[in-house]
Amino acid sequence: METYARLPVSLCRGRGVWVWDSEGRRYLDCVAGIAVCSLGHSNGRLRRALTRQLGRLQHVSNLYRIPEQEQLAATITARSCFDRVFFCNSGAEANEAAIKLARKHAQVVRGLVGTVERPPLILTAEASFHGRTLATVTATGQPKYHQGFTPMVQGFRYFPYNDTAAFEALLEASEAEGPRVAAVLLEPLQGEGGVHPGERAFFQRVRQLCDAHQILLIFDEVQIGVGRSGRLWGYERLGVEPDAITLAKGLGGGIPIGALAVKRAVDHFRPGDHASTFGGNPFACRAALTVLAEIERRQLLQHVQAMEALLCQELSALVQRHQHQLTGVRGWGLLQGLVLSGNGPSAPELVKAALAQGLLVVPAGPTVVRFVPPLTIRPRELHQAVSLLERALLSLA
Ligand code: PLP
């Protein structure tokens, strides 16, 4: 079905940060499946681990204990502030689980039994992105994604991101007639919405108010989690611990897996409350275990921090050289957005021109070009990526 406006290339194989199309043309991949292929393409350790796993067991039902899943949950909880994990297959599914958990939290902790007239509320940010299922697209604070699909799911309210006063006002209005809010759902850094990093003071205030009202604070780390920010989890960059976190994308390095990780105190799910046939199967868990082990073994967090400095430096120099078309750079780690001025090409135009030069980048809205390469990208390749982008800019001048 025509759900995607696809670019006219067929990608057939990849190695490291490089991919090749059906015509044999090579591209430097700073998209990585949109922040998915954290270890790059054809990674030897991932390939061997998955081949071994296929030779043992690829799938069993969650009717039974699954050792790989238990090991993955133990790894995630040992390296985070969370205690329990539910596994699924994508970011939207992880957020669906979080939304259900929020409603159960509202009942169990706040005594809020939702009705059609008075649904529990989930507060999310404008310009956010949380997925395309009906509940997660409703959570997504971008009206363009709602068009054609009304009525949306009940119980979502929006406020401007990083705007403490607006958040306080919305919370106060929502709670004016008694407990009403189940959860606040926020990306620590907004990816799809234009690469906007969260501000510490704002997130600290949200944490305070959620604590005061016993409201669940959920971070959507589907894009920024699992090392991309230069810390294992995006919340570490804010110095604020959420009650729950959602993960997907980079967690499996290209094998579909999503997760909802929660603190013990808000683990309200009981047997039968939620489920997924494929969620947390041995194959997908082996992929995630390998990604997490490689992040540690290769010290990729330190590497991402160093690459962040380098990429920002190179992109800032590019902005200096092309001040008419570019205005700045923003982001964390290896999720960086190059902001266009509006005087030159749009982000989709520049992305197309970059493709012609052999570079894959992806828009984040109409005025931001996003770099989300594999976490393993090397300095020489980053330098090459910025050179190719400059060529693309010049080709449009
Ligand atoms: N949440 C965030 C922050 C995302 O960036 C995305 C996808 O871009 C999603 C959720 C949805 O993830 P998926 O496409 O795996 O359903």
Which pLDDT tens digit goes with each residue over 24-65? 999 999 999 999 999 999 999 999 999 999 999 999 999 999
Average pLDDT over residues 214-225: 98
Could you give the strand order of the β-sheet that contains 326-332, starting from the edge strand earlier in sequence?
326-332, 335-340, 368-371, 362-363
Run of H or E residues at 286: helix 282-297
| Confidence category of residue 329, pLDDT binned at 50, 70, 90 | very high
Residue 91 Cβ contacting ligand 1 at under 6 Å: yes
Residue 129 Cβ contacting ligand 1 at under 6 Å: yes
Tokens 């430097």 map to which residue? 28
The tokens describing 260, both together, are: 């909802």
Average pLDDT over residues 168-195: 97
Give the per-residue pLDDT at 327. 98
Percent of the chain exceeding pLDDT 70 equals: 100
Ligand 1 centroid, distance to 91 Cα (angstroms): 5
Is residue 193 pLDDT above 90, yes or no? yes
CA 198 to chain centre: 13
Ligand 1 centroid, distance to 35 Cα (angstroms): 10
In angstroms, the CA 273 to CA 104 distance is 9
Give the per-residue pLDDT at 111. 95
Residue 189 Cβ contacting ligand 1 at under 6 Å: no
Give the per-residue pLDDT at 236. 98
One-letter amino acid of 83:
D
Ligand 1 centroid, distance to 274 Cα (angstroms): 20
- Give the end-to-end CA distance of the chain in Å, rounded to a whole number: 35
Contact 64, 282 (CB under 8 A): no
Nearest alpha carbon, ligand 1 atom 1:
130
Name the residue ranges covered by the structural domains of the chain. 11-30+299-396, 45-297
The tokens describing 129, both together, are: 């992105």
Residue 124 Cβ contacting ligand 1 at under 6 Å: no
In angstroms, the CA 159 to CA 125 distance is 5
Q: What is the mean pLDDT of the chain?
A: 98
User: Which segments of 189-242 are extended strands (E)?
Assistant: 189-190, 196-197, 216-220
Residue 221 Cβ contacting ligand 1 at under 6 Å: no
Nearest alpha carbon, ligand 1 atom 13:
91
Considering only CA atoms, give the Rg of the chain: 21
Write the CA distances from 277 to 74, 89, 274, integer angstroms. 21, 9, 11
Tokens 């790059």 map to which residue? 40
Ligand 1 centroid, distance to 203 Cα (angstroms): 21
In angstroms, the CA 305 to CA 62 distance is 38
- Give per-residue pLDDT as tens, 261-293: 999 999 999 999 999 999 999 999 999 999 999
Mutational pocket test of ligand 1: of 130, 145, 196, 260, the residue with most ligand atoms within 8 Å of the beta carbon? 130
Q: Which atom of ligand 1 is nearest to the CA of 95?
A: 10
Give the per-residue pLDDT at 104. 98
The hierarchical CATH code for the domain 45-297 is 3.40.640.10
Residue 243 Cβ contacting ligand 1 at under 6 Å: no
- Give per-residue pLDDT as tens, 109-162: 999 999 999 999 999 999 999 999 999 999 999 999 999 999 999 999 999 999
Could you say which of 3.30.2000.10, 3.40.50.300, 3.90.1150.10, 3.40.50.720 is the CATH number of the domain covering 11-30+299-396? 3.90.1150.10
Q: What is the pTM assigned to this prediction?
A: 0.98
Ligand 1 centroid, distance to 248 Cα (angstroms): 8
Please give the backbone phi and psi of residue 374, each rounded to the nearest 5 degrees, phi first.
-55, 150
| 8-state DSSP, 351 | H
Ligand 1 centroid, distance to 141 Cα (angstroms): 13
Average pLDDT over residues 351-367: 98
Q: On the CB side of 91, how many CA atoms lie within 13 Å of its CA?
A: 26
Give the per-residue pLDDT at 397. 84
Output the CA torsion 283→288→292→294 (10° steps).
60
The bridge status of strand 18-21 relative to strand 335-340 is unpaired
Write 109-118 long-range contacts (CB < 8 A, 24+). 109/214, 109/266, 109/268, 110/179, 110/182, 110/213, 110/214, 110/215, 111/179, 112/179, 112/180, 112/182, 114/155, 116/154, 118/180
Residue 96 Cβ contacting ligand 1 at under 6 Å: no
